[in-house]
Amino acid sequence: MVSRHHKLDSDLAALATMSPAQLREHWAKVTGKVLPRVSPALLRLALGYELQAKTLGGLSRPSQQQLAQLAGAKTRTRNAVPGMRLVREWHGTVHIVTVGEDGAIRWNEREWKSLSEIARSITGTRWSGPAFFGLKERTPKEKRMVA
């Protein structure tokens, strides 16, 4: 493990001394992706991220989803946090979901993997759990990022 981190440290340090041509060549070698049209300084940062992600692991799936959502900026989803109580009426029945201090999601005296799983059980169809329970909100147009 130490040698892996040592190699990463030396690879990151080497980026500072690379010419723009070397950076472009290194980008193709490391990522196999199309070269972005960015300055050498920004390419160094992007390469640094790519090297770290390959060695240490990239962003978690929830982090990737949150970033994608923020980039699109059409909706914003609040996280279900410990101690939260979510209430939703569906076809005349009130459903109460609690998020325990341990982070466990509980409904009908049972633990569930996700809010979406509960929403599916309640409605019989696939739903976004955060949308069903009011945690996902549309972003006003004036607050959306322009792509």
Question: pLDDT tens digit string along 73-88?
Answer: 677 778 889 999 999 9
Instruction: Please count the residues of the chain.
Output: 147
- Are 126 and 134 in contact by the 8 Å Cβ rule? The answer is no
pTM metric for this prediction: 0.49
Under the banding of pLDDT at 50, 70 and 90, the label for residue 147 is very low
Q: Given pLDDT bands bounded at 50, 70 and 90, which one contains residue 122?
A: very high
What share of the chain has pLDDT > 90, as a percent?
Answer: 59
Distance, in Å, from the CA atom of 86 to the CA atom of 73, rounded to the nearest integer, reads 24
Residue 90 or residue 75, greater confidence: 90
* Average pLDDT for the chain: 88
pLDDT of residue 70: 72
CB burial class (10 A; 0-12, 13-18, 19+) of residue 5?
exposed
User: Residue 143 pLDDT > 70, yes or no?
Assistant: no
Least confident span in 108-112, 122-126, 127-131: 127-131
